[in-house]
């Protein structure tokens, strides 16, 4: 069994991005600029945004962090997004999800310029992804998974991939990407969800199992065949009074029992999470490149 060390791989990617930024600055150009918007006081969201801002600094990116109150209205948030859209010095925009219940996430995603949508959620980028358009900004977590597979040179062509979870953020896009004619695609993909019967029979056929359901330790050894590659997207805060923070981070996979059966497996934390940030930053420098190429 080998760990798919997302922390290590993301650091390598950030080092490569830093060299690109240093070259740009040496040539007299400004560095890429990412703007992150956080609405409310969700503890997990605050941690995610802080990690993104920190990673930007490490790679030499500029970053702007905009914090808005819990009572921010939908029109107020859209006004902030439109201001960022119009700012030529901002290359990438992310609005951290989830948003307060009073705000329609889809309206906010739709308000972000597709050319600055480095999270890869805008309908335009979704359409481009479906068409295998190279200009598409791929959703950050699925893109991070592809980068992880690439780094470890894991063969996907002709493999049976089973994806658990059908969210627009992870499950559906990774199922599409893995089935496309692309590097680290060309797989036969089965997408399972809460209404899929006999899931264990399906997961036992998986050469590559990708779980994004958000239920701690729900993937057990009996669901995984020998030699499978297991990618755990779940990041769940579980109460733990023995921890200084009051919680521990768990994944979907019961790591201790599943890991011995695997050829490769991601840890939680330290697997897919850091790769999401690396993919977000890769999208940001791509957005920067596309913007400076405009006539």
The per-residue pLDDT for range 191-202, each reduced to its tens digit, is: 999 999 999 999
Residues 165 and 96 in one domain: no
- 253 lies in a domain? yes
Domain hosting 65: range is 28-113
The gap from C-alpha 53 to its chain's centroid, in whole angstroms, comes to 15
Residues 175, 261 within the same domain: yes
User: Do 63 and 177 fall into the same domain?
Assistant: no
For range 273-279, the mean pLDDT: 96
Strands 236-239 and 247-250: antiparallel
Is the predicted pLDDT of residue 153 greater than 80, yes or no? yes
pLDDT tens column, 224-238:
999 999 999 999 888
- Is the confidence at residue 294, as pLDDT, over 80? no
Residue 118 lies in a domain: no
pTM: 0.95
CATH number, residue 88: 3.40.50.10860
- Does residue 117 sit in helix, strand or coil? strand
On whether residue 123 sits in a domain, the answer given is: no
Whether residue 255 is found in the same domain as residue 166: yes
Residues 80 and 155 in one domain: no
Render pLDDT for 29-87 as a digit per residue (tens, 0 to 9).
Answer: 999 999 999 999 888 888 889 999 999 999 999 999 999 999 999 999 999 999 999 99
2-32 pLDDT, tens digit per residue, is 999 999 999 999 999 999 999 999 999 999 9
Residue of 5, 14, 52, 116 marked catalytic: 52
**Cis amide bond preceding 98, omega within 30:** yes
Nearest 5°: CA angle at 187, between 183 and 190?
Answer: 140
CA distance 253 to 43: 23
Q: How many domains does the chain have?
A: 2
Query: Is 96 considered catalytic here?
Result: yes
Marked catalytic residue, from 5, 91, 117, 119: 119
- Is residue 133 annotated as a catalytic residue, yes or no? no
CB neighbours of residue 68 within 10 Å: 17
Is 52 noted as a catalytic residue in this protein?
yes
Claim to verify: residue 179 and residue 261 sit in the same structural domain: yes
Please pick, among 5, 14, 91, 96, the residue that the annotation labels catalytic: 96
Q: Which of 25-34, 100-109, 285-294 has the lowest mean pLDDT?
A: 285-294
Q: Are residues 108 and 231 in the same domain?
A: no
- Give the Cα separation of 30 and 292 in Å (integer): 10
93 and 159, same domain (yes or no): no
User: CA 162, CA 71: separation in Å to the nearest integer?
Assistant: 40
Q: How many CB atoms lie within 10 A of CB 256?
A: 9
Q: Is residue 98 part of a domain?
A: yes
Cα(55)–Cα(7) distance, integer angstroms: 12
Nearest CA to 94 out of 232, 290, 277 is that of 277
């Amino acid at each position: 069994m080998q760990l798919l060390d997302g922390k290590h791989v993301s650091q390598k990617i950030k080092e490569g991005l830093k060299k690109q930024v240093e070259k740009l600055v040496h040539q007299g150009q400004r560095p890429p600029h990412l703007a992150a918007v956080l609405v409310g006081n969700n503890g997990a969201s605050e941690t995610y945004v802080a990690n993104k801002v920190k990673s930007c600094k490490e790679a030499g990116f500029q970053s702007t962090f905009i914090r808005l109150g819990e009572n921010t209205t939908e029109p107020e948030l859209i006004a902030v997004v439109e201001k960022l859209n119009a700012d030529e010095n901002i290359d990438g925009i992310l609005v951290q999800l989830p948003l307060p219940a009073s705000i329609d996430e889809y309206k906010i995603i739709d308000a972000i310029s597709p050319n600055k949508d480095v999270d890869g959620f805008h309908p335009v980028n979704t359409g481009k992804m479906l068409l295998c358009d190279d200009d598409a900004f791929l959703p950050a977590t699925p893109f991070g998974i592809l980068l992880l597979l690439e780094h470890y040179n894991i063969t996907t062509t002709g493999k049976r991939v089973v994806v658990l979870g059908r969210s627009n953020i992870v499950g559906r896009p990774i199922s599409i990407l893995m089935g496309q004619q692309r590097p680290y695609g060309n797989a036969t993909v089965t997408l399972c969800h809460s209404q899929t019967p006999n899931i264990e029979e399906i997961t036992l056929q998986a050469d590559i199992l990708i779980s994004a359901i958000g239920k701690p330790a729900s993937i057990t050894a009996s669901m995984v065949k020998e030699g499978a590659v297991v990618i755990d997207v779940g990041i769940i805060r579980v109460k733990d009074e023995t921890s200084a923070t009051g919680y521990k981070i768990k994944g979907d996979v019961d790591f201790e029992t599943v890991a011995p059966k695997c050829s490769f497996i991601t840890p939680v934390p330290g697997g897919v999470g850091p790769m999401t940030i690396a993919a977000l930053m890769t999208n940001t420098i791509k957005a920067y490149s596309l913007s400076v190429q405009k006539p």
